Amino acid sequence: MQYLEWNNLIAKHFFNESKAGKEVLLYINDGLINYLGESFGFDVDDFIKSVKDGPIWATRSGFCQKALQSCEGWRDKGLDYPPYISYLAFFVLAAVTETDYAPHSYYPGFRKRLNESQDSAMPPSFDRIIDLWDDLEKWSREDKHEELGRFVARIRGGYMHVGLPRSQTVLSEYERKHLPNLFDRANLDPTDAPSPEIIPKILRKYGEDILEKRTFKLLNSTQAEDIALRKALIEVVLDELEDWDGAVEEVVDEEAQPRLQVHTGLRLCIKLDTMAAHLIVYVRFKTSRMFPEDGLNFKGRDGQQSWFCREAYQGWSTPLTDATDGSAIKLDGSSLNWNEGALFVDSDNQWRARLRGADVRLFRPGAMDGLPDWVETQKLERGKQFLIAVSQRLEEKIRKWGEEHCEHFREERISGLPSRWSLFHMENASASCSGIDILSISTSARLVLIEGIKSSRGNTYFKFAPPKVVIENSSGSENVTMNGVQLRQPDVQRAIWVLPGDMPVGIPLRIEVNFAEHRLSKIIRLEEFGFPASFDKTAYRDSDGRICEDDVSANVCGSIVYGEIEHISYPSVIPTHLGDKIFFLGEKPGKIVDWPHEAVPSSWNPVWAIVCRSRKQWDVFFCGTPEQLRTGYSEVKSVGDRQSVKRWKEALWVRRKITVPPEIPDVRRIWEEYVRVARYV
């Protein structure tokens, strides 16, 4: 295979729409290269031959000189990807190559791959390869606005030039793909990440069959050159946790497709009345996923009582309330087992809500989240007041720490707590509490974007709803700018900065935070809201719904049909491309699938695809056969269990007022027949 073919193959694997807004690691090993080249009949040996040859315009003799030449003027060549990515992949491959030299020796692996005499001397011009890493960051962040992923040229470790390729090896693709399983095991909440300092402990405890030996070695290393790499690993894991939407693939049957289960972490909330010396504990949670239109109904282990909630505010749920008699009585959080935790399940929507078991529980003012009362959190922040609930076993330890290292320490003599629990009120902790993970004061700061409305994948927002900038673990001395302009901090007590209203659209906007020796940055882009002037970039689809070229005899582009297409019929391809949440309905009551939480139907043909656009709008698409379109609804008996029949009716009849019917008259007529029938099911 020619050099550019390998280059595009590798580049497309790492940089694509699914990576939008996420950091890309060019982790390359023999297995991945063999996997990418397998369908073309090529392997890692052919890849190495191709990088030795280089692109046709690279004529210099030295390996690194040829890599540098591949970058010269490449943007004028009309290429889809930077033509030096294969060279960078080779440099990473050299970093994971085993040799007879010390593990931290890089150059012997480099020469071994080129079949040269192994020694530890730097190859000619290798010190200039940093220009390629910098250009890749510029391309991904400024040219592509992170739409295909965000690459950051990080120098990690004690050696500048070797630190660049090594920085890509902190986590393999397999490890990264299975991090949600690790997060689920550790009962982590993506909306309430723990302190960076305890991430290594979590990885060691829950990553046994997910993380590779190389990763465990890095986690346990005491070598100075591994400290920066371990910090990089923690940063990637935290980024993945914050991007996680709580979904985990659950295998229920070896022959069936995995089922998506949504995990969310319950938060205890305390309404404190110091005058009455009493508190009330209730429960809510926060999620980045869309709430089901009809809310959620959770049941505990006994399976008897049902607890209801819906979305209240920016992903926060309403407090869980009694759903059995409509009394709206809040779930009493103090009745739960705080030490062991609790699990609640909504089987219909495949949601799990779990309260972490702990002997120490930390609370911060709800105003920091736009909520009333005190809200549970997993991270202790500097300069803030907080509450600590502690079981009797650790009471004296917390009391001693609070008296020595916190300001305004006092015990709240108050009723309403679980038996053998105490409550302390304090602020501005100056040191971590040894042995208590949740009371670790982080030395790391993080730049996070909150709120705002994204216009697409990645960090692209509508101008009318830009994000706000949050500095986690703020020291109070930060200088926050956007393209060199100072951002406004409305409340000096809260580490939140807002963007000005006159920001330009369509160009990279670099948000930078500088304080002490730290520097954080993110790039965003703003867009005006409106319809595109041209639909030239709209994909063409064939009669099965697959993306195709415009030379196919019969195809559809947007609303325009080219050629003769009588009907797009099921079951050639199930139209999962219509949206992220789809109900597929068959003609018989009870034939219903909630995709992607449930596998697409294989034993029956769906007639309708009902797509969730928002909490208040569903769209309907006909995906049945031509015969079903001609004959309409024919009376048939219900199939499946009562719950499936009920869901079928709800999709057609109960949500009819928020469902946009088909516009084509004949299809709309059939839809209305189904709705009328569903009324009496």
Task: Output the pLDDT for position 571.
Answer: 44
Task: Output the pLDDT for position 454.
Answer: 80
- Considering 109-123, 148-162, 518-532, 581-595, the range whose residues carry the highest mean pLDDT is 581-595
Residue 27: other Cβ atoms inside 10 A: 21
The answer to whether the beta carbons of residues 443 and 381 sit under 8 Å apart is no
The answer to whether the beta carbons of residues 276 and 413 sit under 8 Å apart is no
**What is d(CA 189, CA 352) in angstroms, rounded to the nearest whole number?**
12
Task: Output the pLDDT for position 592.
Answer: 93
Of 61-65, 119-123, 136-140, minimum mean pLDDT range: 119-123
CB-neighbour burial class of residue 452 (10 A; exposed 0-12, middle 13-18, buried 19+) = middle
Whether the pLDDT of residue 555 is over 80: the answer is no
Q: pLDDT > 70: what percent of the chain? A: 91
**What is the pLDDT confidence band of residue 415, given thresholds at 50, 70 and 90?**
very high
Task: Output the pLDDT for position 562.
Answer: 78
pLDDT digits (tens, 9 = 90+) for 293-325: 889 999 988 777 899 999 998 889 999 999 876
Q: Which residues fall within 8 angstroms of residue 8, CB to CB, at 6 or more apart?
A: 80, 81
Instruction: Give me the mean pLDDT over the 450-458 stretch.
Output: 75
**What is the pLDDT confidence band of residue 339, given thresholds at 50, 70 and 90?**
very high
Whether the pLDDT of residue 160 is over 70: the answer is no
Whether the pLDDT of residue 70 is over 90: the answer is yes
Beta 407-411 vs 421-427: how paired, if at all?
A: antiparallel
* Neighbouring-strand partners of residue 346: 351
Tokens for 383, please give them.
């300069």
pLDDT digits (tens, 9 = 90+) for 208-236: 889 988 899 889 888 776 777 788 888 88
Mean pLDDT of the chain: 86
Angle, alpha carbons 517-518-521 (nearest 5°) = 150
Q: Which residues fall within 8 angstroms of residue 131, CB to CB, at 6 or more apart?
A: 68, 71
Instruction: Give me the mean pLDDT over the 161-180 stretch.
Output: 84
Residue with tokens 């970058």: 71
DSSP assignment string, 460-515:
EEETTS--EEEEET--S--EEEETTEEPB-S-TTS-EEE--TT--SSS-EEEEEEE
Name the helix (H) or strand (E) containing 645: helix 642-649
CA 10 to chain centroid, in Å, comes to: 23
Query: What is the CATH class of 446-527?
Result: mainly beta
Nearest to 472 by CA among 228, 245, 190, 194: 194
Task: Output the pLDDT for position 4.
Answer: 95
Q: pLDDT > 90: what percent of the chain? A: 41
Residue 115, amino acid: N
Task: Output the pLDDT for position 198.
Answer: 92
Q: Which residues fall within 8 angstroms of residue 109, CB to CB, at 6 or more apart?
A: 94, 95, 96, 97, 98, 99
Hey, which bits of 64-145 come out as E strands? none
Task: Output the pLDDT for position 144.
Answer: 86
Whether the pLDDT of residue 491 is over 80: the answer is yes
**DSSP state, 12?**
H
Tokens for 290, please give them.
């869309």
Segments in 139-260 forming alpha helices (H)? 160-166, 173-177, 179-185, 199-206, 213-220, 224-243
Tokens for 641, please give them.
């269990």
Q: How many CA atoms lie within 13 A of 370 on its CB side?
A: 10
Task: Output the pLDDT for position 615.
Answer: 67
Q: Which residues fall within 8 angstroms of residue 185, CB to CB, at 6 or more apart?
A: 206
The answer to whether the beta carbons of residues 601 and 668 sit under 8 Å apart is no
CA 134 to chain centroid, in Å, comes to: 26
CA 575 to chain centroid, in Å, comes to: 24
Which has more pLDDT, 459 or 511? 511
Question: In degrees rounded to 5, what are phi and psi of residue 541?
Answer: -130, 145
Task: Output the pLDDT for position 457.
Answer: 58
Buried b (16+ CB within 10 A) or exposed e, 422-447: bbbbbeebeebbeebbbbbbbeebbb
pLDDT digits (tens, 9 = 90+) for 463-483: 888 999 988 877 777 889 998
Whether the pLDDT of residue 25 is over 50: the answer is yes
Put simply, whether the predicted model's pTM sits higher than 0.75 gets the answer no
**What is d(CA 380, CA 382) in angstroms, rounded to the nearest whole number?**
7
**DSSP state, 337?**
-
Instruction: Give me the mean pLDDT over the 101-108 stretch.
Output: 74
Task: Output the pLDDT for position 569.
Answer: 45
Whether the pLDDT of residue 326 is over 80: the answer is no
**What is d(CA 497, CA 524) in angstroms, rounded to the nearest whole number?**
15
Beta 659-660 vs 617-622: how paired, if at all?
A: parallel
**What is d(CA 522, CA 525) in angstroms, rounded to the nearest whole number?**
10
Task: Output the pLDDT for position 570.
Answer: 43
Instruction: Give me the mean pLDDT over the 433-441 stretch.
Output: 92
Tokens for 619, please give them.
């769209």
Query: Would you tell me the crossing angle of helices 30-38 and 3-14 to the nearest 10 degrees?
Result: 110
Task: Output the pLDDT for position 573.
Answer: 65
Instruction: Give me the mean pLDDT over the 10-29 stretch.
Output: 88
Instruction: Give me the mean pLDDT over the 91-103 stretch.
Output: 81
Task: Output the pLDDT for position 568.
Answer: 45
Residue with tokens 């008996």: 637
Residue 569, amino acid: S
**What is the pLDDT confidence band of residue 503, given thresholds at 50, 70 and 90?**
confident
Residue 51: other Cβ atoms inside 10 A: 24
Q: Which residues fall within 8 angstroms of residue 637, CB to CB, at 6 or more apart?
A: 588
**What is d(CA 462, CA 508) in angstroms, rounded to the nearest whole number?**
14
Helix, strand, or coil (residue 17): helix
Residue 591: other Cβ atoms inside 10 A: 22
Whether the pLDDT of residue 565 is over 80: the answer is no
**What is d(CA 380, CA 437) in angstroms, rounded to the nearest whole number?**
10
Of 8-12, 96-100, 157-161, 206-210, minimum mean pLDDT range: 157-161
pLDDT digits (tens, 9 = 90+) for 577-612: 787 789 999 988 999 998 888 888 888 889 999 998
